[in-house]
Amino acid sequence: MSGFEDSLLDEVDETVRIRLVVNGRKVVCEVAPRHTLVDCLRDTLELTGTHAGCEMGACGACLVQLDGRAVHSCLVFAVQADGATVNTIEGLTESGVLAELQAEFHRRNALQCGFCTPGMLVNAHELLSRVAQPSREEIRDALSGNYCRCTGYEAIIDAIDTVAKARSENGGAT
Amino acid sequence: MKAKAFSYFRAATIDQALDAHARAGDDARFIAGGQSLVPALSLRLQAPRLLIDITHINELRGVTREGGHLRIGALTRHCEMLSEPLIAEFAPLLHAAAPFVAHPAIRNRGTFGGSVALADPASEFPAMTLALDAEIEIAGPSGRRRVKADDFFLGLFETALQPGELITAVHVPLFRADQRFAFDELARRRGDYALVGCGILATFIDDRIDDIRIAFFSVGDTPTRARSAEAALIGKGLDADRIAAAQAALEGDLAPPESDEVPPAMRLHLSRVLLGRLLGRLGEGS
Ligand SMILES: Cc1cc2nc3c(=O)[nH]c(=O)nc-3n(C[C@H](O)[C@H](O)[C@H](O)COP(=O)(O)OP(=O)(O)OC[C@H]3O[C@@H](n4cnc5c(N)ncnc54)[C@H](O)[C@@H]3O)c2cc1C
Ligand code: FES
Ligand code: FES
């Protein structure tokens, strides 16, 4: 019944093989249990678009989509994600779903150093896929866990607001 | 920083999880959403040898109506507290509290059971189980049992859970037509832990309060019921004098901790302001 082997207790930090679908491709990684998903993405899979800032869930730089939902990849151990589907900023960019947001961030200077931008985009994308026309208040709320230390938030909120309005004027196209 | 090395075990059933914990003893931790545990491990505030992942245990999932109560599975995520229609209809106080729990991405992973088990005195949900007179359903090495929320929160991060015990669900009496609820908190910034927060569930007969449960969070070592304030309101209508009496009674109910940032007198003042607002809303029939 158990499935649990006592010998596991002596194998602390031994690597485990995990399988993921990352950005549409099946991958197999060897990870130690204490490695977080952001470690695995950046160091093992060399997907360095996902950034690691605080590594405590406070800054939002590490947001990815895990099974379709935005989550902090610093707050998930890679082993926990075994069998899951992950989309990073690279995959979301390739698929084109972020194109309008990216163009609008660019147009409005909604970034300077860009460190926070991947997380902002992942979060903005999730917001717009859940709420067709969020108010500025709702946009602020959605971004409340994303820190940007250079731009200030107005330009970022303007960019997201503009995309939301443009989409609803196009009858919700894209 | 990185967590210290540990082994990882993914449990498929409650029995597997309990068995693994029993064999690893004090050196094991259950992990649910991980939204509090992973930072604690990264900071090396904790360094267990074994993490038992309970998120793949189907028995811990789901929200169901059972007789006069709602059974909320421990793995119900914070975001589901917002989206699940049964919660909105039958536990509206939890639905109202959910948007105040952390940020959207944390709500996507954090679990209701994890929040109650952690018993952070600044957290919304543990206090709301008090307001709702909920029962915590527990599975452990010596069998299953249920504990009333009133008897569950014992001290700072201390609960009635024994080592190796798992919260399986929380049972909440169904919200009724003769009841009203109110929730709010005062925080410096959206998504931050509250300076003070409060949830109320009241039963009315005509416009008089027949029963009321007032639960505060962020004002002491545990989520706290304001029993003297409750006593000041029972059998009465909600006029300005009654609200003032309840606010005054808070002095005997709450003992905010010493803190440089928010002195106890200020927290008590904020608690009174918040209670006044919420009772005002209840009086308007919200
Ligand atoms: C930046 C940030 C802001 C936050 N803001 C808030 C906030 O405003 N309000 C708030 O309430 N929370 C907040 N949180 C915490 C978050 O809500 C957590 O999700 C929650 O407190 C714990 O739930 P979890 O499922 O993630 O538990 P985990 O982190 O997995 O576990 C927490 C503890 O509970 C134990 N545990 C978990 N599930 C069970 C179970 N079923 N039975 C027995 N033991 C169990 C674990 O062993 C561990 O000790 C915040 C977190 C972060 C990172
Ligand atoms: S690195 Fe994950 S939230 Fe900061
Ligand atoms: S653009 Fe630099 S942190 Fe946001």
**pLDDT tens profile B135-169:** 999 999 999 999 999 999 999 999 999 999 999 99
Half-sphere exposure of B47 (CA within 13 A, CB side): 10
Question: Residues B36, B74, B129, B251: what is their CA dihedral angle, to the nearest 10 degrees?
Answer: -20
The two tokens of residue A43 are: 């160091």
CA distances from residue A123 to A6, A89, A101, A114, A142 in whole angstroms, order as listed: 41, 11, 11, 15, 7
Binning pLDDT at 50, 70 and 90, where does residue A172 land? low
Interface contact B55, partner A, CB < 8 A: yes
Separation of alpha carbons B149 and B128, rounded Å: 9
Report whether pLDDT(B191) > 90. Answer: no
Single pTM value for the model: 0.96
Distance (Å, whole) CA B24 – CA B163: 11
Atom 3 of ligand 2, residue of closest alpha carbon: A57
Separation CA A117–CA B255 (nearest Å): 43
Sign of CA dihedral A38, A41, A43, A44: positive
Ligand 1 center to A160 CA (angstroms): 30
Mean pLDDT over the full length of chain B? 96
Q: Any idea which of A5-14, A62-71, A103-112, B78-87 has the lowest mean pLDDT?
A: A5-14
Q: What is the pLDDT of residue B26?
A: 84
For residue A11, give the nearest of B34, B50, B284 by alpha carbon.
B50
User: What's the rounded Cα separation, in Å, for the pair B183 and B268?
Assistant: 17
From A67-76, B1-10, B59-68, B277-286, the region with the lowest mean pLDDT? B277-286
- The SS3 call for residue B51 is strand
Point out the ligand nearest to the CA of residue A54. Answer: 2
Beta-carbon separation of B2 and A70 below 8 A = no
Residue, of B2 and B28, whose pLDDT is higher: B28
Percent of chain B with pLDDT over 70: 100
**Model confidence over A78-131: pLDDT tens digits?**
999 999 999 999 999 999 999 999 999 999 999 999 999 999 999 999 999 999
pLDDT for the residue numbered A6:
85
- Phi-psi sector, A58: left (phi>0), alpha (psi -120 to 50), beta: alpha
- B285 has a pLDDT exceeding 80: no
Q: Is A40 in the pocket of ligand 3 (CB under 6 A)?
A: no
What share of chain B in percent tops pLDDT 90? 91
Residues B216 and B202: their CA atoms lie apart, in Å, by 15
B109-125 pLDDT tens trace:
999 999 999 999 999 99
Closest ligand to the CA of A114: 3
Say which residue, B77 or B285, is predicted with more confidence: B77
Q: Which residue of A has its CA nearest to B31?
A: A80
Quote the ligand 1 centre to B123 CA distance (angstroms). Answer: 9
Q: Which residues of A touch B41 (CB under 8 A)?
A: 34
Give residue A72 CA to ligand 2 midpoint distance, Å.
Answer: 6
Task: Tell me: pLDDT of B238 over 90.
Answer: yes
B180: its two tokens:
């009203």
DSSP string, chain A: -----GGGGG-TT--EEEEEEETTEEEEEEE-TT-BHHHIIIIIS--TTS--SSSSSSS-TTEEEETTEEEEGGGSBGGGGTT-EEE-HHHHHHHTTTHHHHHHHHHTT--SS-SSHHHHHHHHHHHHHH-SS--HHHHHHHTTT---SSS-SHHHHHHHHHHHHHHHHTTT--
* Across B186-202, average pLDDT: 91
- For residue B214, give the 3-state DSSP assignment: strand
| Nearest ligand to the CA atom of A53 | 2
Give residue B1's pLDDT. 77
Q: Is B53 on the interface with A (CB under 8 A)?
A: yes
Give the per-residue pLDDT at A2.
53
Can you give the pLDDT at residue A13? 74
Would you call B227 an interface residue with chain A, using a CB distance cutoff of 8 Å?
no
Could you write out the DSSP letters of every residue in B106-133?
HHTT-BHHHHHHHT-TT-HHHHHHHHTT
Query: Which residues of chain B does A16 touch, with a Cβ-Cβ cutoff of 8 Å?
Result: 8
Q: Which of B31, B41, B52 is nearest to B4 (CA)?
A: B41
Q: Which residue in B270, B283, B100, B273 sits closest to B182, CA to CA?
A: B283
State the count of interchain CB pairs (< 8 A) between A and B: 124
